[in-house]
Amino acid sequence: MSQSASAQTPGGISEGPSRTSYRVSTGIERDISRYRWLGMLNVDDQFGNWKVSAANRFVSDAFVLFNDNLSIRDENRLLLKAESVAGRSIVPTVQGTLGWYSLSRVFNASAAVGMRFRASPEITVEPRLGASVDSRPGAPVDGDPAPLRTDAGPSVGGLVRFENSPAEDWRLSAAGSGSWKSLAPRQATDLLLQGSAVRSKENLSFSTSVYASSARRDSYQAVSFLNRSEQGATSESVEATRSDTLVISGNLRTSIARDMTASSLIRVGVNRRTVRTSRAPDEALFFDTDFTRRSVDLEFDMNYRRKRLDATMGVKGGVENEERLLANREDLSPAQASQKTDLLRQADFDQG
């Protein structure tokens, strides 16, 4: 269901009746050896002076492994946001997350409060302060399943947003957000920066954008594929995985005829992922890794649109280079370094 009305305060927050919606979706997928049930719930509503948005995603997988053993994996992720519609110059905000993963026995939750205000007509700032809790398996004891280890600590974060039009045919925008969670002896960090510049004039449009992100996740025991099977991997060490990504793109679009336009795009990206181990026993053997991917993509499209006809023809191409290194190779024997280097070359890394 939905209701809508609009009235904006100087701070950009709707007053009075706002759009209300409750959406539920579900579905079942089947692969060769897996069944997946997916359920999603989205809520946008206003309660008193608070505008609330919530999104919950539940996934249940039933899959057959070796020896025809059936395994079930359930995951649930909840994101909740609320902001006051009573404030004008300063807007209180609340944000929370909750995650549960049955197979790995991991549960995490966080909550933060913030204050959003305009530092200038072009700049919006929102500092946040909160707390987080994380529960996951620690170190196994005498061969028994690892008991759960629960850590909690403070968190800080915030965002900054900038929008400006220095000239009639120019539009500039940038946004940055970040968070840091202390879960001693572990920590989690997220940094994100996005910016764009767009110029439109008559039949010509040019845009360029920058995307940069950095994320760090710490886990007990060894979870990377090179370390999880080594002696000492079951100790309560801390393995830190950090992923840094930078993508720069430029797009040019122009009209070459009355009903025909042409556009070209170039995108350059770099992703670097590192794995480092700390708090490991002296006798334990671990492998620290560095992975770097560089890519360049090119696209060219021609579009013809007239009345009910809309046709597009294009071509895409690109090159990619990967580099995989053992960061602590000098501390390993030649046989170990050679074996692990071969395994590292076969790894499947995703961009972070």
Q: What is the pLDDT of residues 243-279, one digit of tens each?
A: 999 999 999 999 988 889 999 999 999 999 998 888 7
Residue 144 DSSP class: B
CA-wise closest residue to 264 among 279, 275, 286, 249 = 249
Mean pLDDT confidence for 199-225: 84
Query: Cα separation of 347 and 334, whole Å?
Result: 20
Q: Length of the chain, please?
A: 352
Task: Reduce the DSSP state of residue 335 to 3 states and report it.
Answer: helix
The model's confidence at residue 56, banded by pLDDT at 50, 70 and 90, is: very high
Which is nearest to 80 in space by CA: 93, 97, 92?
97
For the ranges 27-36, 102-111, 181-190, 296-305, which has the lowest average pLDDT? 27-36
pLDDT for 205 equals 93
pLDDT at 330: 76
Confidence class of residue 352 from pLDDT cuts 50, 70 and 90? very low
Please tell me whether the peptide bond between 140 and the residue prior to it is cis, using omega within 30 degrees of 0: no
Query: Can you give the pLDDT at residue 12?
Result: 36
pTM of the model: 0.76
H/E segment holding residue 17: none
Q: What is the rounded CA–CA span in Å between residue 252 and residue 197?
A: 12
- Identify whether the C-beta of residue 215 lies closer than 8 Å to the C-beta of residue 352: yes
Whether residue 7 is predicted with pLDDT greater than 70 in this model: the reply is: no
Percent of the chain whose predicted confidence (pLDDT) is above 70: 85
pLDDT reported for residue 141 = 65
Higher pLDDT, 16 or 263: 263
Question: What mean pLDDT comes out for the span 269-292?
Answer: 83
